[in-house]
Amino acid sequence: MGYVLAVAKSHPVTTGIGPRPAIELARRLPARAWQRLSAGPGAKGPRWYDWALIETADPAVTDGTGPHWLLIRRRISDGEYAFYRAHAPCPVPLAQLVRVAGSRWRIEDGFAAGKELTALDEHQVRCWTSWHRWTILALLAHAFLSVLAAAQPAHGDPHDDQMIPLTRHEIRRLFTGLGQQLPATQLQLHWSRWRRRHQATARACHYRRRALASA
C-alpha cells in the first residue's frame, strides 16, 4: 500500500552513505535536486514549495515491494523544511507524491472550519453521550454549509463578475440574520455583496503575488 507519512526532522533515514537524520540529508542536497511544485490550491492561491526526493536504502523498509523515499518540502519564504516517508508499489512521479502530501491541508482546513463555523470545539466533554451528540450536530451543520457553498455557481453572481461565490462563512452570516426585520435583512445582503466583491479583489491580488513569488 502506498503512503506519504509526515516525520520529524530528526527521523533517521538510511541511504548509501548510511543512517542520517532527515534534516542532515536535506542540507546536503545540491540546488539542482529541488523542484518547485504546487501542493494544491489554498486560501490564497496555489501552495508553492520546493521539493526533493531521496531514495532510501533502509533494509527495515526496503522489502522488494516497491521504492521507498524521503520526500522533503522546503518553504520558499524562509527555507523551513518538512519531511515525509513515502512508498509506492511502483515508481511514481514526484508531482504525485506532492499531491498526496498536500491533501493533508484539506483535512486540517476541515477541522479548523468546523471549530470556527459550527463550534466543534466548544463542548466541555462532561460525558460521552452529550459530547457525541454535540459533535454530530456540529459536523452536520458544517456539512450543510459546505454543500450549500459547493452548489454555488463557479463565477458567483452571473450579473456581477467581480464577486466571488457565497462561502461557508458568508452563508452562515446570512442565516444568522434571517430573523431580523426586512430593512436589516436588506442591509445585510448589501454588505454581503460588498464583502464578496472586496474578497474577489483580494484573491486576485494574492494569486498575482503567489505567482510572482513562485516564478
CB 86 within 8 A of CB 3: yes
In the predicted model, what is the mean pLDDT of residues 46-57?
90
CB 45 within 8 A of CB 210: yes
Q: What is the pTM of this model?
A: 0.66
pLDDT on residue 26: 94
Q: Where are the domains of the chain?
A: 3-102, 103-151, 154-215
Residue 21 has pLDDT above 90, yes or no: yes
pLDDT on residue 185: 64
pLDDT band at 95 (very low <50, low <70, confident <90, very high): very high
Half-sphere exposure of 81 (CA within 13 A, CB side): 22
* Tens-place pLDDT, residues 151-208: 887 665 555 567 778 888 888 888 877 766 666 666 777 777 777 777 777 777 776 7
Q: Which set of grid coordinates corresponds to residue 99?
A: 499531491
pLDDT on residue 208: 75
pLDDT on residue 62: 53
Average pLDDT, the chain: 83
